[in-house]
Amino acid sequence: MEKRVTSHDVAELAGVSRTTVSFVFNDDKQYFVRPETRQKVREAARKLSYYPNASARALASNQAKAIGLIMTRDPHYIAADNFLPQIIGGLLDVVKEKQISLLIEWVEPGEQTHTYLSLTQAKHIDGMILLTPRFDDPGLKALEQLGIPCVIMGQVPGSNLAFVDIDNCAAAHVAVNHLIELGHSRIACITNARLSYSSASQRLLGYRQALVDAGLDMDEKLIREADFDSASGYTAMRSLLSSGSNFTALFAGSDTVALGAMAAIQEAGLTIPGDISIVGFDDIPEAAFYYPGLTSVRVPANEIARQSCYLLMHLMKGEAPASTSIMLPTELISRQSTCEIERSHKHQQGEKFVHFT
Amino acid sequence: MEKRVTSHDVAELAGVSRTTVSFVFNDDKQYFVRPETRQKVREAARKLSYYPNASARALASNQAKAIGLIMTRDPHYIAADNFLPQIIGGLLDVVKEKQISLLIEWVEPGEQTHTYLSLTQAKHIDGMILLTPRFDDPGLKALEQLGIPCVIMGQVPGSNLAFVDIDNCAAAHVAVNHLIELGHSRIACITNARLSYSSASQRLLGYRQALVDAGLDMDEKLIREADFDSASGYTAMRSLLSSGSNFTALFAGSDTVALGAMAAIQEAGLTIPGDISIVGFDDIPEAAFYYPGLTSVRVPANEIARQSCYLLMHLMKGEAPASTSIMLPTELISRQSTCEIERSHKHQQGEKFVHFT
DNA sequence: AAGCTTCATTAACACGCGTTAATAGATTCT
DNA sequence: AGAATCTATTAACGCGTGTTAATGAAGCTT
């Protein structure tokens, strides 16, 4: 069992005090260390392969140098979340640049308050990013009251916490309107999650408003709730198809759900977009490669992650950021899964498809 | 600025010493605390909403109570990794149960040794799980020498580190053999990543052996390297199609890559499996919903994650685990993307598809 | 009643580092 | 030359906890 190398050892080898070593390693501008001394310290550290102890550092400085990504859905659904890799990719980019660590945590329903407080009070992390919390999350108020640095990816009405989001309602409106402009009037909707998740209810709202604004009838029988994964989208579409209601288009709350729906449609012997046009949401990297290429609302996942991270770091520094709520733009990406309703009566076979991406 | 609540405060309120508080919070079996005293302490802690400081704890006990998931590919490709959510889901499950934290880190090529050492020596984490490191990762030797608790998801030849993996070569062999049994002899291959990743080279090896074992010709012109994402699979297939070589089946190193290839095939006006049969790898949750449903090798992602985590925790305790290398079984899941070669000459339109899942 | 054991609790030190106020040395100013 | 200023470095304390060896209390034996 080798003795651990401490700053004391480095100081000794370099012939300076521990304090100087600390100054060097923290690049303290305030206290000037002679370049020559600095060099000696660096070299001694290298020789001993010294790595400053993170816990001791955190304890002394009262900063964990870490942030947490907190997820509220349970691991089973996390596994089906095709959006997550993009988020993590974006986050990793920034935390690497800022030299801090990223913690990932899952909170059980009912345990929110405890988990949030325990994570921050225990100083495991300096701040947290909440990934799409639910409407009714009771922990949010606690976070707000205690003034804990926190950014929500998504929005929770009634909360004053900082957030980064897209305008789900408006984006859904655009998506559905696209279908309407193509001549569709019977448009089904499958949500991306249960409605206690704000993104799901917001997207549903946009769907409703688009129909209303276009003066179309709203048929509640054309609405289904899915549950994050493709399987639930598949089930929802089967239910729609067997319900007897007729429709010529679908607005899906996520690409993952849309994929399941597409499978159900094709399995039933119907064609896309010939019989049913589909618009998805998220524009995950795979959407362009689905068959047919899925028209979708591009959500700047990477940018959401990055902005959340930057915003959080501002809050952690105690700086008042320019804005505590950031809305990022979305864009409808048109591919082959949507077409004018007239075409639905034409023959669709042998059609060539061209990718837009 | 409120003063932080420490174990001292709790001790005071409960009328005991700080040591006793520590005993209570660590459920120390060795030192008996009277149930009555224990109760007093618990209540005092609750009243003050006391959360033990993680850094101080880590410093004093020399355990971070955290493990790290270390990824070697860069954020851009992490974003396209549909396998990741399953891994994270499985990991979260276990670490939650064991009451430890999960850190996620990305290491730059060239920085491996430094990053690994810094993470463990600095005691940010007690152990690490390396997600599919590359063949030539120089940091692995350092980890081995220092005896740092570490589990590899995947395999690196020449390393004695513990690992959890599937038999990539054998599984690929089975997958390709499936195509051969269906009568295919001209089978293309697109790897799931560059060959410096061991899973990619192992799967390619299985492909080669299957052809050899069946006495078929090996045509190097039918092999392409992809790069994790669907886009690279798409590009690879375009390259295959325009190369002039003819083939009636494809073995893709991952479902994500397979999806890109499928898009390229369909875009070229060819049908699956009519003109080209496809077998993927991973069996990600979406594979069943692709069009057509993708025949794939099921990799027990969740189980890999769980076993890795358990194994790592054994190593962290210093226990000698039953086995330091775990191989998990795979299974070929047959769906609609593969068929006998004879069918390729029949008319494929209007075919109904049935899902197996 | 003195000695021994068991049970419950505690005082005191250690963990490795950040940070402030103080010190010694070098330089400039009057 | 002496005082004042600046530069480079350090001694000493504190961060909040885990842990060991020691202490005291209580019960039991002889």
Express each pLDDT in A54-72 by its tens digit.
999 999 999 999 999 999 9
**Residue A352 pLDDT:** 40
- Decide: B324 and A296 in contact? Cβ < 8 Å: no
CA A223 – CA A236 distance, rounded (Å): 9
Closest alpha carbon to A263 in A295, A246, A285, A241: A241
- Residue B33 (CA) to nucleotide C7 (C1'), in angstroms, measures 9
**Residue B2 pLDDT:** 60
For chain A positions 211-240, those within 8 Å of chain B (CB to CB) are: 229-231, 233-234
How high does pLDDT run on average in chain A? 92
**Residue B321 pLDDT:** 74
List the nucleotides on chain D closer than 7 A to a protein CB: 7-12, 14-21
In this complex, the answer to whether residue A37 has its CB under 7 A from any atom of chain D, a nucleic strand, is yes
Nearest residue in B to A291, CA atom: B291
Coil, helix or strand at residue A251: strand
**Residue B351 pLDDT:** 40
Q: List, for residues A207-260, the tens digit of each pLDDT value.
A: 999 999 999 999 999 999 999 999 999 999 999 999 999 999 999 999 999 999
For chain B positions 74-133, those within 8 Å of chain A (CB to CB) are: 75-76, 78-82, 84-86, 88-90, 92-93, 96, 101-106, 108, 117-118, 121-124
- Decide: A260 and A232 in contact? Cβ < 8 Å: yes
Amino acid at position A132, single letter: T
- Residue with the bigger pLDDT between B346 and B97: it is B97
Amino acid at position A291, single letter: Y
Residues of chain A contacting residue B355, judged by C-beta atoms under 8 Å apart: 234, 263, 267
Alpha helices (runs of H) in chain A, residue ranges in sequence order:
7-14, 18-25, 35-48, 54-61, 75-78, 84-98, 112-121, 139-146, 168-181, 198-213, 230-242, 255-267, 301-317
Q: List, for residues B290-337, the tens digit of each pLDDT value.
A: 999 999 999 999 999 999 999 999 999 887 777 889 999 999 999 999
Per-residue CB contacts under 7 A with strand D, chain B residues 56-95: 56-57, 59-61
In this complex, the answer to whether residue B118 has its CB under 7 A from any atom of chain D, a nucleic strand, is no
Interface contacts (A, B; CB < 8 Å) = 204
- Residue with the bigger pLDDT between B265 and A37: it is B265
CA A339 – CA A178 distance, rounded (Å): 10
Q: Which two tokens stand for residue A144?
A: 């707000």
- Decide: B219 and B185 in contact? Cβ < 8 Å: no
Nearest residue in A to B121, CA atom: A51
The reply to whether B1 touches chain A by the CB within 8 Å rule is no
Closest Cα in chain A, distance from residue B212 (Å)? 32
pLDDT tier, A185 (very low <50, low <70, confident <90, very high otherwise): very high
How high does pLDDT run on average in chain B? 92
pLDDT tier, B342 (very low <50, low <70, confident <90, very high otherwise): low
pLDDT tier, A261 (very low <50, low <70, confident <90, very high otherwise): very high
Q: Which two tokens stand for residue B115?
A: 């990053």
**Residue B27 pLDDT:** 84
Residue with tokens 């993170």: A54
CA A272 – CA A286 distance, rounded (Å): 17
CA B102 – CA B83 distance, rounded (Å): 18
**Residue A347 pLDDT:** 38
**Other beta carbons within 10 Å of B48:** 15
Q: Is the dihedral of CA B10, B12, B15, B17 positive or negative?
A: positive
In this complex, the answer to whether residue A45 has its CB under 7 A from any atom of chain C, a nucleic strand, is no
For chain B positions 248-277, those within 8 Å of chain A (CB to CB) are: 256, 259-260, 262-263, 266-267, 269
Task: Calculate what percentage of chain A has a pLDDT beyond 70.
Answer: 94
Alpha helices (runs of H) in B81-229, residue ranges in sequence order:
84-98, 112-121, 139-146, 168-181, 198-213
Q: Which two tokens stand for residue A211?
A: 């129909």
Q: List, for residues B18-70, the tens digit of each pLDDT value.
A: 999 999 999 877 778 888 999 999 999 999 999 999 999 999 999 999 999 99
pLDDT tier, A287 (very low <50, low <70, confident <90, very high otherwise): very high
Beta strand B66-71 with A187-190 is unpaired
**Residue A342 pLDDT:** 67
Q: Full-prediction pTM beyond 0.75?
A: yes
Contact B230 A350 (CB under 8 A): no
Segment B165-192 shows an average pLDDT of 98
Q: List, for residues A295-311, the tens digit of each pLDDT value.
A: 999 999 999 999 999 99
- Residue A60 (CA) to nucleotide D12 (C1'), in angstroms, measures 15
**Residue B322 pLDDT:** 75
CA B220 – CA B264 distance, rounded (Å): 20
Segment A307-323 shows an average pLDDT of 89
Q: Counting beta carbons within 10 angstroms of the beta carbon of residue A64, is it exposed (0 to 12), middle (13 to 18) or buried (19 or more)?
A: buried
Segment A305-318 shows an average pLDDT of 94
Nearest residue in A to B147, CA atom: A1
CA A245 – CA A43 distance, rounded (Å): 76
pLDDT tier, A322 (very low <50, low <70, confident <90, very high otherwise): confident
In the DSSP assignment, the letter for residue A285 is G
> Which helix (H) or strand (E) is B164 found in, with range?
strand B162-166
- Residue with the bigger pLDDT between A319 and A46: it is A46
In a mutagenesis test of the A interface, which of B286, B351, B352, B357 is the best target, namely the one with the most A β-carbons within 10 Å? B286
Residues of chain A contacting residue B301, judged by C-beta atoms under 8 Å apart: 79
**Residue B344 pLDDT:** 44
Residues of chain A contacting residue B102, judged by C-beta atoms under 8 Å apart: 103-105
- Decide: B291 and A262 in contact? Cβ < 8 Å: yes
Q: At what angle do helices B230-242 and B255-267 cross, to 10 degrees?
A: 50
Closest alpha carbon to A219 in A207, A201, A231, A227: A207
In this complex, the answer to whether residue A7 has its CB under 7 A from any atom of chain D, a nucleic strand, is no
Distances from the Cα of A81 to the Cαs of A29, A45, B272, in angstroms?
Answer: 44, 43, 27
Q: Which two tokens stand for residue B148?
A: 């740092």
CA B24 – CA B30 distance, rounded (Å): 11
Closest alpha carbon to A346 in A273, A257, A294, A278: A273
CA B5 – CA A339 distance, rounded (Å): 62
Distances from the Cα of B272 to the Cαs of B186, B232, B267, B297, in angstroms?
Answer: 15, 19, 11, 18
pLDDT tier, B353 (very low <50, low <70, confident <90, very high otherwise): very low
**Residue A2 pLDDT:** 60
**Residue B350 pLDDT:** 37
Residues 6+ away with beta carbon under 8 Å from A11: A17, A18, A20, A21, A41
**Residue B286 pLDDT:** 96
Q: Which two tokens stand for residue A196?
A: 């206690």
pLDDT tier, B108 (very low <50, low <70, confident <90, very high otherwise): very high
Residues 6+ away with beta carbon under 8 Å from A208: A218
